[in-house]
Amino acid sequence: MSSTTKIISDWLSTNTYHHSDFWDVEKLVEAKEKSGQSISLCIPTLNEEKTIGKEIIIFKSELMDRYPLVDEIAVIDSGSKDKTLEVAASYGADTYLSADILPEEGFKPGKGENLWKAIHQLKGDIICYVDADITNIHARFVTGLVAPLIYRPEVHYVKAFYDRPLAFSEGVRPSGGGRVTEILVRPLFSLFFPELTAMVQPLSGEYAVRREVLEEIPFPIGYGVETSHLIDVYQKWGLSAFAQTDLDSRVHRNQATTDLGKMAFGILQSFLNRLESLGMVTDLPQMETIFRQFQVEGKTYEQVLKEIVEEERPPMNTIPAYLKSRGRG
């Protein structure tokens, strides 16, 4: 057995959980209160009026009203054109437009932007991020992620993993999902950061992180945010800083292969930038930002061009307004 294989095997045995390990929410609340930590739940959104209401209802009723585990539930929105914010507010969530947070820093469209600005807007010592498009939402999407942080001070960053059945009009397909992970990210990690292959689903949108970790790392504004987080946290704190929790299943809408291509293009930009900044590769050429696809109609072949630029926000602890808000400015 190679040293990397043993490291991963040992980590899996100590830092990988099933959500049922934390079934006793009363015990979890007691441990949280004893630790003196506060928890913020952040749901980044863009046009999610169909699913956001159910998420807010379940999280608020189970994790605020029934068990006082979560101290605030906030929706950070990129500028939805539907009724996402109205629905979320009507069920008791705090709602914010990303563009209104740190306005002096400007606004950039992208999920990573919402996650970054949440660090400034929310109060918690732990921030738990949950995507807004989950149709089988359950309290375990929070309890399973924050519990390792509450019980184990040495753990800094907890990722979710799950089966990903894809929802189709005729029902639910029993297996599938994780295509960008298995085709792109896992091969890249295997080549350059083999210990990070321990993460079952590195691109999962559900994770809980300590504030002091989030404020020290940069945030790509787009598709590369999760991959970059793993690399940056790994470089600063090592594999032992991570844990992961099996949440059983996550049902969500299917994405077209063309959309997954755009995601992969953005992730690859961020990944190569990380390799260069770490000195693992040198003299990279200037990378193009136009992703090129095709659509065919009859005998007409048309290029479909999409500019994807993985800009990054700097660590939040370099932003004067943030430092001032935390009494450090």
pLDDT tens figures, 135-155:
899 999 999 999 999 999 999
Return per-residue pLDDT of the chain as tens, 329 residues.
789 999 999 999 999 999 999 999 999 999 999 999 999 999 999 999 999 999 999 999 999 999 999 999 999 999 999 999 999 999 999 999 999 999 999 999 899 999 999 999 999 999 999 999 998 999 999 999 999 999 999 999 999 999 865 544 445 434 334 789 999 999 999 999 999 999 999 999 999 999 999 999 999 999 999 999 999 999 999 999 999 999 988 875 667 888 899 999 999 999 999 999 999 999 889 889 898 988 888 888 899 899 988 899 999 999 999 999 999 87
The domain spans of the chain are 3-325
CB atoms within 10 A of CB 267: 26
The pLDDT value recorded for residue 263 is: 92
C-alpha R_g of the chain:
20
The pLDDT value recorded for residue 21 is: 97
Predicted TM-score (pTM) of the model is 0.92
241 closest CA partner among 196, 275, 279: 196
Instruction: Write the burial class of residue 169 (CB in 10 Å: 0-12 exposed, 13-18 middle, 19+ buried).
Output: exposed
pLDDT per residue as tens digits for the range 98-118: 999 999 999 998 999 999 999
Distance between start and end Cα atoms, the chain: 50
**Domain 3-325 class, CATH top level:** alpha beta
